Amino acid sequence: MSHNLNIAVLMGGPSAEREVSLKSGAAVAKALESCGHRVTRVDPQDGVLQLPPGMDVVFLALHGTYGEDGSVQQELEAIGMPYTGSRPTASRLAFDKLASKRVFWEQGLATPRFCSVSQSDATIPSDLGMPLVVKPVRQGSSVGLSFIRETGQWVSALEEVLKFGGEALVEEFITGRELTVGILGEEACPIVEIRPNDEAAYDYEHKYTVGATRYFCPADLDEEVTRQCQLLALNAFKALGCEGYGRVDIMLDGDQAYLLEVNTLPGMTETSLLPMSAGARDMGFAELCEWMIQDALDRHAKNNKGNPA
């Protein structure tokens, strides 16, 4: 790869995950500069894309709305600019937790039972049992996530989740081990196990509070379970039409793995889970960022073969 590319790193943006995205973008920009590239940091804070002239490729370090929902991808496609990660349709599908779960269900991929609720006065879906997980349909990073362990918590949890959009996803709560599988191209990386220190579930606070959670990579799983989880993750990634890289979250109950969701633009700080996963196969952070840029350029060239600009 040429070591003097002009790369725009898109970071920040207008979503609820702006602060996390700024950290991802800062880490990525520094890593790409260390590889000899000319990097411009671009913050579409108001959801308006303004790229400086002369860019060769865009690194998407955005998270949440605008960054992960296919919007910015659509704009970059329109100007013929190569960019990292999945294309608009797959991004939109993965970001919509309800739509992606329906795809998993149709494809026979194991996922917790679920329903959607759009009224704040809705009754508890009795067929899912207790406890329940309630989350916004279109938010990332555990934003708005609630756990309901008794019926008295239902009304306030639902009201909180519906603040993030008109629809809530309600899932049966799977107890077990929380895993995440990094995907690079056609391959699943070593699995990361996530263990919150106080037995609480992995919510926003645990995700971003230093020392609140421990991570184990590669996860201590037997070979067969590891293979099953990696295959489930790859199948989920492909079922949504995702490309390039991502991260697939899984709950493991005994030997049964359940899909939670696919992240198309996962966190990219040096301590984030995809870099941790790649690190377990001896790929350093800067090397990972370079791989993502090269992957973006290769796929762009392939997708535009025979389509002269």
Residue 309's pLDDT is 43
Residues 38 and 142 in one domain: no
Q: Is 208 a catalytic residue?
A: yes
Lowest mean pLDDT among 2-6, 169-173, 218-222, 245-249: 2-6
User: Would you say residue 216 has pLDDT above 90?
Assistant: yes
Q: Is 197 a catalytic residue?
A: no
Give the residue-averaged pLDDT of 143-155: 87
* Number of domains the chain contains: 3
List the catalytic residue out of 249, 272, 290, 299: 249
Q: Is 71 a catalytic residue?
A: no
What are the tens digits of pLDDT across the range 248-295? 999 999 999 999 999 999 999 988 999 999 999 999 999 999 999 999
Domain containing 41 — which CATH number? Answer: 3.40.50.20
Q: Is 247 a catalytic residue?
A: yes
Q: Is 249 a catalytic residue?
A: yes
The strand order across the sheet containing 146-148 reads 114-117, 168-172, 132-136, 146-148
Q: Is 282 a catalytic residue?
A: no
List the catalytic residue out of 263, 272, 277, 295: 263
Residues 46 and 138 in one domain: no
Q: Is 263 a catalytic residue?
A: yes
* Model confidence, pTM: 0.92
Q: Angle 99-247-167 (CA atoms, 0-180°, nearest 5)? A: 30
List the catalytic residue out of 75, 171, 261, 295: 261
pLDDT category at 200 given cuts 50, 70, 90 is: low
Q: Is 261 a catalytic residue?
A: yes
- Give the domain-ending residue among 128, 153, 172: 172
Q: What is the DSSP string of 234-284?
A: HHHHHHTT--SEEEEEEEEETTEEEEEEEESS---STTSHHHHHHHTTT--
For helices 71-78 and 88-95, what crossing angle results, to 10°?
180
Tell which residue, 51, 44, 9, 47, has the closest CA to residue 28.
9
- In sequence order, the β-bridge partners of residue 293 are none
Domain that holds residue 56: 6-84
pLDDT over 70 percentage in the chain: 92
Which has more confidence, 126 or 41?
Answer: 41
Residues 196 and 106 in one domain: yes
What are the tens digits of pLDDT across the range 73-119? 999 999 999 999 999 999 999 999 999 999 999 999 999 999 999 88
